[in-house]
């Protein structure tokens, strides 16, 4: 089913509002989700609404959070999300980081005690749109085997980065520290498609192509991805005094409880380090030079990091956003949720 971005946002806002979010927070979540779907990141888009709706309805997301922002130094701060919806808390936290970086050159804002916040690239793009560099990391529930291990310890623990170029140019990329994000497994399940055997392992620790047999994910580049996911966990968990490692709360365990997740935003003002216009020019030059590199056999051209998502977004503006029929039908229905996520094994069908 194809739909426009605005129509999709409206459907999601109505559903989330019906589940118990305020209109303002429902609109904020819908904006992040529609952004993801428009950029082809369907694992963090509309398919998540039913899960959020169930968690909201059961009290696991605070619908009236007492957000608190506290500066802890000239360039550091903590934003407490009071286990409100993560998308809104992360966005407000980034707004504060942007203001601080404009004033002092750099800002580090820890966003603590939040729920799942969706596509990280949304938040770093906020910074790039203001002429700033944005970096964001967030912890997630344990579903990845450490290099050399057979039991999950860390989450997919993603990293996002954005930098502004000239005019509307912008480099924006978002990556899990696993070979693939868990949401991509869910998306494969929703479409009954197989997955590459490099993404995940089954209950015996063997690589699998069946998304329904996945029991743990694999770190990207073996020990290198393992090291990166540890770094993310330290910066967004240990640093903020939150649960870490295999103690991070499960997305599906007890939907009546807040998740207490952590996210860290780092914003850098290029004007404090170099000529800002020259910086933007060089970012644009980087983008163009990468595109002009001779492609390897089997490739049409070289894309700069994140360009595939930009191409998907431009295409969706012309052709609409493709949404799985079951997801679209749920959004159009009068049902808030089907009570199917609470205490679910995250790897179950």
Written as one string, the DSSP assignment of 152-195 is --B----EEEEEE-STT-EEEEEE-SBSS-HHHHHHHHHTT---
Task: Give the C-alpha separation, 91 to 120, whole Å.
Answer: 10
Query: Is residue 25 flagged as an active site residue?
Result: no
Q: How far is CA 323 from the centre of its chain?
A: 18
Sheet with 68-73, side-by-side order of all strands: 68-73, 76-84, 106-114, 261-268, 133-138, 159-164, 170-175
DSSP state of 70: E
Tokens at 228, concatenated: 């990166």
Q: How far is CA 335 from CA 15, 16, 27, 131, 339, in A?
A: 8, 11, 19, 42, 10
Give buried/exposed letters for 59-73 (b at 16+ CB in 10 A, else e).
ebbbeebebeeeeee
Strand partners, 36: none
How far does the chain reach from its first CA to its final CA, in angstroms? Answer: 23
Contact assessment for residue 211 and residue 194, using Cβ atoms and an 8 Å cutoff:
yes
Which residue, among 168, 173, 155, has the nearest Cα to 259 in the 3D structure? 155
Active-site entry in 42, 116, 187, 265: 116
Contact assessment for residue 20 and residue 337, using Cβ atoms and an 8 Å cutoff:
no
Contact assessment for residue 264 and residue 108, using Cβ atoms and an 8 Å cutoff:
yes
Which residue, among 200, 162, 203, 156, has the nearest Cα to 178 in the 3D structure? 156
Q: Which residues are catalytic?
A: 116
């Amino acid at each position: 089913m194809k739909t426009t971005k605005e129509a999709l946002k409206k459907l999601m806002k109505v559903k989330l509002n019906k589940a118990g979010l305020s209109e303002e927070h429902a609109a904020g979540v819908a904006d992040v989700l529609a952004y993801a779907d428009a950029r082809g990141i369907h694992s963090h888009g509309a398919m998540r609404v039913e899960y959020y709706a169930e968690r909201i309805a059961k009290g696991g997301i605070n619908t009236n959070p007492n957000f608190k922002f506290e500066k802890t130094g000239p360039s550091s701060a903590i934003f407490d999300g009071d286990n409100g919806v993560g998308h809104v808390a992360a966005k407000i936290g980034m707004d504060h980081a942007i203001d601080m970086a404009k004033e002092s050159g750099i800002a580090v804002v820890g966003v603590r005690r939040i729920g799942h916040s969706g596509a990280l690239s949304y938040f770093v793009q906020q910074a790039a749109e203001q002429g700033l560099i944005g970096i964001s990391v967030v912890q997630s529930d344990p579903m990845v085997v450490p290099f050399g291990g057979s039991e999950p310890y860390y989450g997919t623990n993603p990293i996002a980065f954005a930098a502004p170029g000239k005019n509307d140019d912008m480099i924006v990329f978002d990556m899990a520290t696993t070979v693939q994000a868990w949401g991509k497994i869910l998306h494969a399940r929703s479409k009954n498609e197989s997955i590459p055997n490099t993404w995940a392992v089954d209950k015996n620790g063997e690589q699998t192509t069946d998304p329904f047999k996945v029991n743990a994910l694999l770190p990207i580049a073996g020990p290198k991805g393992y090291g990166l996911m540890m770094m993310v966990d330290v910066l967004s968990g240990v640093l903020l005094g939150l649960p870490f490692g295999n103690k991070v709360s499960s997305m599906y365990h007890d939907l009546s409880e807040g998740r207490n997740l952590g996210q860290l935003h780092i914003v850098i003002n290029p004007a404090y380090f170099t000529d800002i216009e020259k910086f933007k020019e060089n970012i644009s030059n980087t983008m163009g030079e990468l595109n002009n590199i001779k492609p390897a056999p089997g490739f049409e051209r070289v894309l700069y990091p994140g360009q595939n998502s930009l191409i998907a977004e431009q295409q969706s503006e012309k052709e609409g956003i493709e949404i799985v029929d079951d997801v679209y039908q749920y959004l159009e229905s009068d049902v808030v949720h089907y009570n199917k996520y609470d205490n679910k094994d995250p790897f179950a069908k």
